[in-house]
Amino acid sequence: MFKKIILLLSLSPFLLFAQNSKLFEEYKTILETVHKNRATIPDSPKIEVGSSGVVMHRFDDTTSTILARATVLAKDGVKALLDLTPYDALEQNTFPKAEIIPASGNEVILNYLYNRSLIIAPNNKNFKIVTDHFKNIDWVHPDILAATLAKAYIPNPDHKKFKEICTKNLSGLIFFNIAEKGYFTDCISFKIIKSVTLPELEEGDEIILPFYSRVASSVQKSIFVRKGSDVNDYDAHYKTLLGIE
């Protein structure tokens, strides 16, 4: 009984955070200025550096199209600076591309697809803790990620591969459970948007490499097709990937 109370107390910051009805909400605003691949929007406390979204062009009240991705590079309390890049998630080579480029007055939607996330966790126990508490997130099961990596003979996905998998699964975030912390990371910028406290691993808890999935053993490099080395230290690998100490 005493052990259960200690566990509950250690989880309290995490549970308090998880009680929010919605962790991430889309934030809509308008492009003010555009110069090549840079644009500005009015700043807001709701805007996070590193968050990404899309630039929309509306033809009428019912018809619109996505013109570009938008990633927040910086903000100063008055303006926020965006980086604009091509949006390739819905690319279709059989149709002509719309000859429209982002311009002042176009709508920007930040935190785009933040209701859907990949998850990297060390074991099933932590996977369940996270997914059970953050019920407002549509979690992409790690089996999908593991199967994709196994097919490509990639045991340790980098930023580019994570972005590709996010795009194919219409995800805006990746959740990394590292040690006693959880990091909601933007798929495009790979910047940490929010962090939460998680319970530390207990003695005897299993750590599955390169991450928890039911097909983890298939994520290994081929002796004939080498595309990176195996993950040998779970925490160290993902800390390096996110650039944290």
Per-residue pLDDT tens over the stretch 222-237: 544 556 677 889 999 9
**Interval 52-78: pLDDT, tens:** 999 999 888 888 899 999 999 999 999
Q: In this structure, what DSSP letter does residue 135 have?
A: T
The CA angle 168-170-173, to the nearest 5 degrees, is 110
Task: Please give the pLDDT value at position 4.
Answer: 41
Same domain, 86 and 192: no
- In sequence order, what DSSP letters do the residues of 175-217 get, joined into one string? EEEETTEEEEEETTT--EEEEEE-PPPPTT----SSS--TTGG
* Element spanning 159, H or E: helix 159-168
CA distance 186 to 55: 17
Angle between helices 142-151 and 159-168 (to 10 degrees): 120
CATH number at residue 198: 3.40.50
Q: Which residues contact 11 (CB under 8 A, 6 or more apart)?
A: 199
Residue in the structure block whose two tokens are 């279709």:
92
Domain end residue (candidates: 45, 75, 110): 110
Task: Please give the pLDDT value at position 221.
Answer: 59
Name the residue with higher pLDDT: 59 or 120: 120
Same domain, 92 and 132: no
Which phi and psi angles does 159 have, rounded to 5°?
-55, -45
Q: Which residues contact 165 (CB under 8 A, 6 or more apart)?
A: 118, 145, 148, 157, 171
Residue range of the domain that includes 59: 27-110
Angle between helices 2-18 and 124-133 (to 10 degrees): 50
Q: In this structure, what DSSP letter does residue 229 have?
A: P
Amino acid identity at 21 = S
Residue in the structure block whose two tokens are 């996270």:
130
> What is the model's pTM?
0.86
Same domain, 85 and 195: no
Helices (H) and strands (E) in the chain, counts: 5, 12
Same domain, 59 and 15: no
**Interval 9-45: pLDDT, tens:** 444 445 444 444 578 999 999 999 999 999 999 999 9
Domain end residue (candidates: 53, 88, 110): 110
**Interval 126-179: pLDDT, tens:** 999 999 999 999 999 999 999 999 888 888 889 999 999 999 999 999 999 999
Same domain, 106 and 119: no
Residue in the structure block whose two tokens are 């509306």:
58
At residue 1 the predicted structure's pLDDT band, cuts being 50, 70 and 90, is very low
Same domain, 191 and 209: yes
